[in-house]
Amino acid sequence: MSNIEEEKTVSAETAEPAAEPAAEETISEQPAVEPAETAEQPTAEPVAKTAEPKALTPVEVELKVDAPTVTAFLRRRMLQRIWIPLAVLAGICIFIGGMLCGMIDELAIGLTLIGAGVIISPATLGFSLLMVQFRAAKLPEVTSNKTVRLTYGENISGVEKADGTADKKVSYTWDSIIKAAETKQYFYLYVNSAAALIAPKNGFIQGTPEDLRTLIAQKLPDKTSQ
């Protein structure tokens, strides 16, 4: 019995607990950090250059102050002044005449007023136009064979010539022009309500009517009419 117990004692002393396998250290693989992409800066677009204004083309025009030219100008001015009053007068005559025609006793008066409205106003206008033509032929500017040569550019300048007088230099600024108008034959640049610089379309020495039209549009954008 004693031998068996000694063996058990020896075996108990010598027996060591089995060593646990060493825990493998798990190394957690961190995902590779990719370098952050550098935000692309928007490429600055080149600043558009401001278009430079088109260079003005100087225009030179010669005007021969003759009866047809002066007559055309005076007729235009007169029509602008009197056509409205004549139209109003004709309208009043026709209106009153129409009302009186509704009355038996006033029929003759009404017809007379209507006739006045239809006939007298146009006749007055025609007579006025004839008087303008007669007056234009007697003006000193016409009888002296006056010519005016003007250059239209940054300013307006030129020379007036007439029989029996020395040449006269003239100069105007665009600011002094109060209104510009164009017809089939002429450009009119008004310096006041009764006077204008006249540029005939058949009198261009340098440049063309289109050049002058462009120049007027640039210099007088708010003062142009037909």
Helix (H, G, I), strand (E, B) or coil at 223: coil
Q: What would the pLDDT profile of 17-46 be if each residue is shown by its tens digit?
A: 444 444 444 444 445 545 445 445 555 555
- The answer, as to whether pTM is greater than 0.75, is no
Confidence check: pLDDT of 212 > 50: yes
What is the per-residue pLDDT across 50-85, written as a single tens digit (0 to 9) for each? Answer: 555 556 778 999 999 888 888 888 888 777 777 667
Domain that holds residue 143: 59-225
Tell me, yes or no, whether 183 lies in a domain. yes
State the average pLDDT for the chain: 74
Residue 144 — very low, low, confident or very high, per pLDDT cuts 50/70/90? Answer: confident
CB 63 within 8 A of CB 200: yes
Tally of domains in the chain: 1
155 has pLDDT over 90: yes
CA distance 137 to 146: 13
Give 222's DSSP letter: T
